[in-house]
Amino acid sequence: MLLRRALKDFVQERHLCPPVSLKQLEELAEAFVQRHKECEPMRSWLMVEIHNQVWLPVVAGIPHERRLLMLPKCLSKYGECKGEYDEYGLLCHRCGCCLIPSLQDKAEQQGSLSIVAEGFTQVIELIENNVVDAVVGVSCLDSLEKAFPLLVRHAVPGLAIALNDNGCKDTHVDEGYVEELLSMLNEAAAPSLLDYDVIREQVNRWFTRTELEHLIGRAEDQTSAVCFDWMCGEGKRWRPFLLCAVWQALTGKSEMTEDVHRAAVAVECFHKASLIHDDIEDGDQTRYGQPTVNALYGDAFAINAGDALLGEGYRVLAESNNAELVRLISDAHMKLCKGQGAELVWCQHPEPIDMDFVKEVFRHKTVPAFEVSLMLGLSCTGNFVHLRPMLRRYSEALGMAYQMNDDLEDFRNDNELASRPSVVLALRNEHPQWDDEKVKNELQSLIDHYHQEALDALNEVDSMELKRLLFQVTEKILKAPPTPLRGRQIVNESAQPLVDFEEERDYK
pLDDT in tens, 326-344: 999 999 999 999 999 999 9
- Residue 276 domain-assigned? yes
Could you report the per-residue pLDDT of 135-163, keeping only the tens digit for each? Answer: 998 888 777 777 788 888 889 999 999 88
- Residue 498 domain-assigned? no
CB 67 within 8 A of CB 59: yes
Residues 6+ positions from 199 with CB-CB distance below 8 Å: 241, 244, 245, 248
Residues spanned by the domain of 86: 2-189
Residues 338 and 402 in one domain: yes
Is the confidence at residue 434, as pLDDT, over 80? yes
From the number of C-beta atoms within 10 Å of its C-beta (0-12, 13-18, 19+), residue 500 rates as exposed
What CATH number does the domain containing 362 carry?
1.10.600.10
- Helix count and strand count (H, E) for the chain: 21, 8
Rounded CA-CA distance 412/164 in Å is 43
CB 430 within 8 A of CB 405: no
Number of folded domains that form the chain: 2
Is the confidence at residue 57, as pLDDT, over 50? yes
Mean residue pLDDT across the chain:
87
Could you report the per-residue pLDDT of 118-141, keeping only the tens digit for each? Answer: 766 777 788 878 889 999 988 887
Look at residue 495 in the predicted model and tell me its pLDDT. Answer: 34
From the number of C-beta atoms within 10 Å of its C-beta (0-12, 13-18, 19+), residue 63 rates as middle
From the number of C-beta atoms within 10 Å of its C-beta (0-12, 13-18, 19+), residue 214 rates as exposed
Percent of the chain with pLDDT over 70: 89
- Residue 490 domain-assigned? no
**Backbone φ and ψ of 343, nearest 5°:** -70, -45
Torsion angle in degrees (nearest 10) through CA of 488, 490, 485, 12: 180
CA pseudo-torsion sign 87, 93, 97, 101: positive
Q: How confident is the model at residue 499 (pLDDT cuts 50, 70, 90)?
A: very low
Is the confidence at residue 440, as pLDDT, over 60? yes
CA pseudo-torsion sign 284, 286, 291, 292: negative
Residues 20 and 128 in one domain: yes
Is the confidence at residue 487, as pLDDT, over 50? no
**Backbone φ and ψ of 135, nearest 5°:** -135, 140
Residues 218 and 182 in one domain: no
Give the helix, strand, coil percentages of the chain, each rounded to 5: 60, 5, 30
Look at residue 123 in the predicted model and tell me its pLDDT. Answer: 79
Residues 143 and 221 in one domain: no
Instruction: State mean pLDDT over 5-24.
Output: 94
Q: Is 420 helix (H, G, I), strand (E, B) or coil?
A: coil
From the number of C-beta atoms within 10 Å of its C-beta (0-12, 13-18, 19+), residue 456 rates as middle
Global pTM reads: 0.87
- Residue 128 domain-assigned? yes
Residues 6+ positions from 444 with CB-CB distance below 8 Å: 408
Residues 6+ positions from 414 with CB-CB distance below 8 Å: none
Is the confidence at residue 46, as pLDDT, over 80? yes
Look at residue 127 in the predicted model and tell me its pLDDT. Answer: 82
Percent of the chain with pLDDT over 90: 64
Q: Which of 147, 172, 189 is the last residue of a domain?
A: 189
Residues 301 and 223 in one domain: yes
Look at residue 17 in the predicted model and tell me its pLDDT. Answer: 94
Residues 213 and 139 in one domain: no
- Residue 419 domain-assigned? yes
Look at residue 426 in the predicted model and tell me its pLDDT. Answer: 95
Residues 357 and 208 in one domain: yes
Instruction: State mean pLDDT over 404-426.
Output: 86
Residues 179 and 258 in one domain: no
Look at residue 119 in the predicted model and tell me its pLDDT. Answer: 67
CB atoms within 10 A of CB 54: 21
- DSSP assignment, residue 87? T
Residues 114 and 237 in one domain: no
**Greatest CA span in the chain, whole angstroms?**
76
Is the confidence at residue 43, as pLDDT, over 70? yes
Residues 208 and 185 in one domain: no
Is the confidence at residue 38, as pLDDT, over 70? yes
Name the packing angle between helices 324-348 and 367-381 (round to 10°).
Answer: 180
Which comes out higher in pLDDT, residue 446 or 506?
A: 446
Choice among 250-259, 291-300, 417-426, 443-452 with the minimum mean pLDDT: 417-426
Rounded CA-CA distance 341/336 in Å is 8
Q: Which of 169, 189, 209 is the last residue of a domain?
A: 189
Look at residue 88 in the predicted model and tell me its pLDDT. Answer: 61
Look at residue 53 in the predicted model and tell me its pLDDT. Answer: 95
- Quick one: which of 391, 344, 340 has its CA closest to 363? 340
Is the confidence at residue 464, as pLDDT, over 80? yes
Q: How confident is the model at residue 350 (pLDDT cuts 50, 70, 90)?
A: very high
Rounded CA-CA distance 207/198 in Å is 15
CB 141 within 8 A of CB 161: no
**Which of 232-236, 266-270, 363-367 has the largest mean confidence?**
266-270
Look at residue 78 in the predicted model and tell me its pLDDT. Answer: 64
Look at residue 494 in the predicted model and tell me its pLDDT. Answer: 33
- Residue 504 domain-assigned? no
- Residue 286 domain-assigned? yes
Which comes out higher in pLDDT, residue 508 or 23?
A: 23
Cα separation values, 74 from 104, 165, 323, Å: 15, 11, 60
Rounded CA-CA distance 24/471 in Å is 13
What burial letters (b/e) apply to 346-384, b meaning 16+ CB within 10 Å? beeeeeebeeebbbebbbbbbbbbbbbbbbbbbbbbeeb
- Residue 15 domain-assigned? yes
Residues 178 and 234 in one domain: no
Residues 183 and 214 in one domain: no
